[in-house]
Structure 1
Amino acid sequence: MATEWNVLNLLRHSRHDWLNHLQLINGYLSMGRVDKVEKLVEDIVNKAKNESHISHLKMDKVAEKLLTFNWGDHSFRISFEVITNESDWSQVEDTVYPFWRCYFNY
């Protein structure tokens, strides 16, 4: 079942994710595991860059699904990496989006 996202729901989920990251960082720091903190920060930065890239490809419906999928109750998680120099994928969105809806039922 697809979730209807509104601003408050989006902010709530985003805040929850950030709080989880901050709690992990705090926990690693309290254990003196600076190496773990550095790796976690690197992962967070890479994730944010990929989220930014997908948000700028002009495939808004696909980007919304990718960015919010892991907030739902699913039996698997999705991670992605954007590797392209193209900035406009709007011409393929009508092909990609139905695929997403069909195979991921979301």
Structure 2
Amino acid sequence: MKVNEVTNLLSHYRHDWMNQLQILHGYASMGKMEKVQEKLQDIIQDSQEESKLMKLQSPHFALWVIRFNTQYDHFRLTYSIQSQHNLEQHDQALMENSQNVMNIFGDFINSLKLYMVTLVVSGQDKPEVSLSVDGDLDKNKDLLDRLGGQSYLKDVQAVESENGHTYTMKLLLNER
């Protein structure tokens, strides 16, 4: 990362923290202590997830996850880390494959819509990375064909949802 990219990332990060603090301040000034507690719990949970992300020893992938919402205008990412595996040996491929998947989805989006992306790192014996994208995506068959043609993906599926379709897939960790 170049210096200006780092400062840009830190600026976005600081902006997000300021937004969180302003929300807390607003709830507190209105005497809505239950809302303050809920928001604090959300902030704590997000911080714990970020800590677990860093413990995966996958710096390129972790940085991609952290920067996701600033890099992809039409997607919003939530993630859950349910594994303590060291992903260092998969770091670069995991980041590149995740980028490639999002680039494919980028070819099928409606630029007026927002799509929800969920990433889960799980697995007890062997790590597993699952990705789902939910929203009003066009060209269902074409998108499935493109995703299905990627050697680093398995179990690619699309199911109808209230927002259109939810696409789910697993990223293989041993290929690029």
TM-score normalised by the shorter chain: which range applies?
A: 0.7 to 0.9
Q: 1:11 to 1:94 in 2, by over 3 A?
A: closer
8 Å CA contact 2:55, 2:84 repeated in 1: no
Q: Where does residue 95 of structure 2 map in the other structure?
A: 97
- 1:14-93 mapped onto 2 (5 Å cutoff): 14-86=13-85, 88-93=86-91
Question: What do residues 63-86 of structure 1 show as CA deviations (whole Å, max 9, x unaligned)?
Answer: 001011112352121011111132
**Amino acid corresponding to residue 98 of structure 1 in structure 2:** E
**Amino acid corresponding to residue 31 of structure 1 in structure 2:** M
**Amino acid corresponding to residue 18 of structure 1 in structure 2:** W
Distance 2:11 2:39 in 1: 22
Cα RMSD for the two superposed structures: 2.1
Distance 2:61 2:16 in 1: 20
Which is higher, the Rg of structure 1 or of structure 2? 2
Distance 2:9 2:92 in 1: 24
Q: Which protein has greater RCO, CA pairs closer than 8 Å, 6+ apart? A: 1
TM-score of the superposition, structure 2-length normalised?
0.53
State the aligned residue count. 103
- Which has the larger share of helix? 1
SS in 2 for 1:81: strand
Which runs of 5 or more residues in structure 2 are unaligned? 107-176
TM-score of the superposition, structure 1-length normalised?
0.84
